[in-house]
Each structure stands twice: as structure tokens, then as C-alpha cells.
Amino acid sequence: MSNEEREEVVTLGAGCFWCVEAVLEQIDGVTSVRSGYMGGHTENPDYRDVCTGGTGHAEVTQVRFDPEVLPLEHLLAWFWRLHDPTTLDRQGNDVGTQYRSAIFYHSEEQRSVAEASRREADASGRFADPIVTEITEASTFWPAEDYHQEYYRLNNTQPYCRMVIAPKLDKLGLES
């Protein structure tokens, strides 16, 4: 079986997709990440529309990974570390339903793993408040505009990248 045949896809919302992408693209076993939108009611949403909060979509990162190298449980361990899953519709100064914490599963097995992972993270004592991450069946993934893809890698001197993303990468022990 080739690596491509083994790959799985999971879609994660953890605030700004630039931040999530910058972290996950560095994790061994992740084969690709793509920023986009999921979970709303608007067809073919764009960034401007999603930012209004009126589309119902979350900013997400669709992650392709090799489960033999990076089991979903380990990928989700990174997910819990890279954001605050206890704040409803907010990550730092980014506020709105588009910044909600969400795991969009692509199979019943992923749903089961995600629910167990959330229970374990909630019981771990790492978080002062209960986890509010939604676990929802994946729907249509709408890729974000090209300028959002690989944003940190291409724009790492921009103020948001220097003030928000770089410190996150440093905190997680990743290359900034």
C-alpha cells in the first residue's frame, strides 16, 4: 500500500487558520495542510463573508496525514496543545463563531477517536475550564483563497505573524 493510499484526512478548527497551518505543517506524518472553511450554510464562502460571522463557517485546516507515522490520537494531542479549547468562539483577540474550536471527522472511527481524545484532554487537568470543542461530521470543505495558503511561511515578517504565530511556534518547540 502506498503512502497516499494510507493517508487520512481530518479537518480542524482552532482559531485563525494561519496559526494552525503553521504548526501542523511541521509535524512528522502530516503530508499536507490546506486552509479553508467548513461547517456553515453558505455555498462557496470567501474570507470577507466568513469574517462577518454570518455564514456559520469556521476557519479550518484540512490535514492529510499518514496514520502509520502519526496516528490520529497523536495529531489530536497537537491540536489540544496549539490552541485554547476552553474558549467558546474565540482564540486570543480573534472573536466569532468562525474561530470556534472544532474537529470535523471524516469517518465514524475518527469520531470515536476524537470523542475519546476530548474526554482525555478534559480530564487531564491541563485546562482550568471545560473543553468546548465541537465534534461534528465533516461537510463540504471550501478552500480559502490562494493568499491564505502557507501564509506564515510566505509572510513571516508581517506583524500578526511576528506577534501571534512565531511565539506559538516557539512555545511548542517548533521552527519559527
Catalytic pick from 16, 19, 51, 161?
Answer: 16
29 vs 27: CA distance, rounded Å: 6
User: In the annotation, is 16 catalytic?
Assistant: yes
11 vs 141: CA distance, rounded Å: 9
57 vs 133: CA distance, rounded Å: 15
Q: What single DSSP character describes residue 41?
A: S
Residue from 37, 86, 76 nearest 58 by CA: 37
143 vs 113: CA distance, rounded Å: 25
DSSP for 96-133 reads: SGGG-EEEEESSHHHHHHHHHHHHHHHHTS--SS----
Query: What pairs with residue 128 in β-bridges?
Result: none
> Looking up cell 499518514, which residue turns up?
66
Catalytic residues: 16
